[in-house]
Amino acid sequence: MTDVVETDVLIVGSGPAGSAAAMLLSTYGVPNIMVTKYSRLADTPRAHITNQRTMEVLRDAGLEEQVVALATPQHLMGQTPFVSALNGEELGRLHTWYTHPARQADHDLASPTAMCDMPQHLMEPVLAGAATARGTHLRYDTEYLSLTQDDDGVTATVRDRLRGDEYRIRAKYLIGADGGRSRVAEDIGLPMVGRMGVAGSINIVFEADLTRYVAHRPSTLYWVLQTGADVGGIGMGLVRCVRPWHEWLIVWGYDIDGEPPDLTEAYARHIAHQLIGDDSVPVTIKSSSAWTVNHLYAERYQQGRVFCAGDAVHRHPPSNGLGSNTSIQDAYNLAWKLKLVLSGAAGPGLLESYSAERAPVGAQIVERANRSIGETGRIFQALGLLSTEDPEQMRANMDARKLPGDGPEKQRQLLREAIAFKDYEFNTHGVELDQRYRSAAVVPDGTQPPANPRDEELFHHPTTWPGAKVPHAWLGHGAERISTLDLGGHGRFMLLTGIGGEAWVAAAATLATALGVPLSAATIGPGAGYEDLYGDWARLREVGDTGCVLLRPDNYVAFRSPGLPADPEQVLGAALHRVLGRD
């Protein structure tokens, strides 16, 4: 018997990044093993906001319906109030997660999917379940200890925590998806920027029927602002809905420079009752845990044959709900590249584009999430809470806004503006959808990314600029309505053209065979199989009828041509050679 187990890809960690990577690799037919230190998947809700880009990954993988069936839908997510307690005074309210009627249109136009609230302890079983059903070997109680790599592969030493013995797993590639204390990232020496432990937080998961305090303003988040509370005299607590309206998660701060609080059940119940504002509500505490707000990202995600994904390379607070979304999208970027390199269709250079494309995204979201925390200070300022530490004075300052006169009118205006400014935490469609890639796996066409006519963080701007995700447009296909995103994906390249672009289709067929690359083509136009029923695709595609848009398996635009060149096969072949790293 040998003590070395062999596979193509070893994944360390079964969180959103690891489970998504395993699920996608198995979907693409790549043999893989996923190990996780613990005997279970996530046992607390943690991440929950699931944005449209993540839903598109799940749709491509055939898991969208399963997630929609388990998740809280968007229409119950967005009446987000700022209150003194759930039964207390309401200071203001914000339409979040694109539930404002004007933003709902932006949301619906951008994607065939809808965002939702899918708690992490429900998401991980969907991802890991599909992974194992499609071929992943999942090993619980298996701890990654160390790795060595050579020209042909990676050898990892792991410990079976049940039996206590160690064995080795030999893989062609390894993905370190081992979270915010990533040993893999440390072992391969990824350069990190920023710091851990910026602030202290406590999570309290509990059951309580809060219907009477929340059902009239359905929201995923209820912000509770309490004077005289633990940290700096102001407490900004978050009561987050896990299951409407009886399961909850409170996020509450503690002073990271002091002793961490003793997380007894009595303490947790006290905080829950304090934020609800009604001690008579029966509360069942399920768990409490302390964690820290981090501000750290890796400048590079790869070292040789080892890649890191998820919190291993971007660590930040939950603001903007970007953590597990970005983790799943990291996996989506990497999985098809590993598939094509392992199958010989692409050169190993393709894998370098993973870091080039995803590291800037990681840096951006870490900065965005941390900035959002600071911006909450505007609300404190508007309420007059930063000029004193005396709770009585704070309450008086807050109450001043109820008075007539110029001063209070100004205060009311500042509060309205401060709450509206939280759009940059809760309605950042551009941050979520407009991640643009610049790498060798994209063929620039000499144009600059088109300027977003609106605020680029708040608003999505669809474009076929190479390096952007293909714009969503509904098309008619027989009696069916399908999205441009549905034409792409499925682990293959897809070329989209229009009437008069048939030579692109012929070129794609020839090149698919010649290069051994999964590549299909579709003509969109009257009588061509895919009808641009609403004219949306013609408005969005930024190329002519005889032009083409080449999509990578992750639906990002690899290459586009405004029209038909003299030799489309040569032009398309050159683009594919470049993207696949076969030059």
Q: Which one, 47 or 508, has the nearer CB to ligand FDA?
A: 47
Residue among 267 and 291 whose Cβ is closer to ligand FDA:
291
CA–CA dist 117, 242 (Å, integer): 8
Query: Considering only 106-114, 173-181, 297-305, 382-390, which stretch makes contact with ligand FDA by CB under 6 A?
Result: 173-181
Write out the two tokens for 398.
Answer: 């807050």
Classified as helix, coil or strand, 445 is coil
User: Do 112 and 59 contact (CB within 8 A), yes or no?
Assistant: yes
Nearest approach, Cβ of residue 504 and ligand FDA (Å): 38
Instruction: Identify each DSSP E strand in 96-165 by its residue range.
Output: 116-117, 137-139, 142-149, 154-160
327 binds ligand FDA (CB under 6 A): yes
Q: Is 12 in the site for ligand FDA (CB under 6 A)?
A: yes
Q: How far is the CB of 336 from ligand FDA (least distance, A)?
A: 19
**Contact range with ligand FDA by CB under 6 A, out of 95-103, 321-329, 344-352, 565-573:** 321-329
Closest separation in Å from C-beta 97 to ligand FDA: 11
Other beta carbons less than 10 A from residue 344's beta carbon: 8
d(CA 328, CA 334): 10
Helix (H, G, I), strand (E, B) or coil at 126: helix
State which of positions 109-138 bind ligand FDA (CB under 6 A): 120
506's enclosing H/E stretch is helix 502-515
Binding mask 259-298 for ligand FDA (x = CB under 6 A): --------------------------------x-------
The dihedral built from the CA positions of residue 282, 287, 289 and 294, taken in this order, carries a sign that is negative
Among 322, 365, 487, 571, binds ligand FDA (CB under 6 A): 322
Q: Which class for 32: exposed (0-12), middle (13-18), buried (19 or more C-beta within 10 A)?
A: buried
Taking the complex as a whole, how short is the minimal distance between the CB of residue 18 and ligand FDA, in angstroms? 5
Q: Per the structure block, which two tokens stand in for 432?
A: 């979520």
- Min dist. Cβ of residue 549 to ligand FDA (A): 29
Q: Does 310 bind ligand FDA (CB under 6 A)?
A: yes
Q: What is the DSSP string of 189-214?
A: T--EEEEEEEEEEEEEEEE---HHHH
Per DSSP, the three-state class of 474 is: strand
The yes or no reply on residue 311 touching ligand FDA (CB under 6 A) is: yes
Instruction: Give the C-alpha separation, 583 to 576, whole Å.
Output: 10
Task: Find the binding residues for ligand FDA in span 25-84 (CB under 6 A).
Answer: 35-38, 46-49
230: tokens are 């633990």
Window 90-109: residues binding ligand FDA (CB under 6 A): none
Could you say whether residue 5 binds ligand FDA (CB under 6 A)? no
Residue 581 in contact with ligand FDA, rule: CB under 6 A: no
Residues engaged in binding ligand FDA (CB under 6 A): 12-18, 35-38, 46-49, 120, 143-144, 177-180, 183, 203, 251, 291, 310-312, 318, 321-325, 327
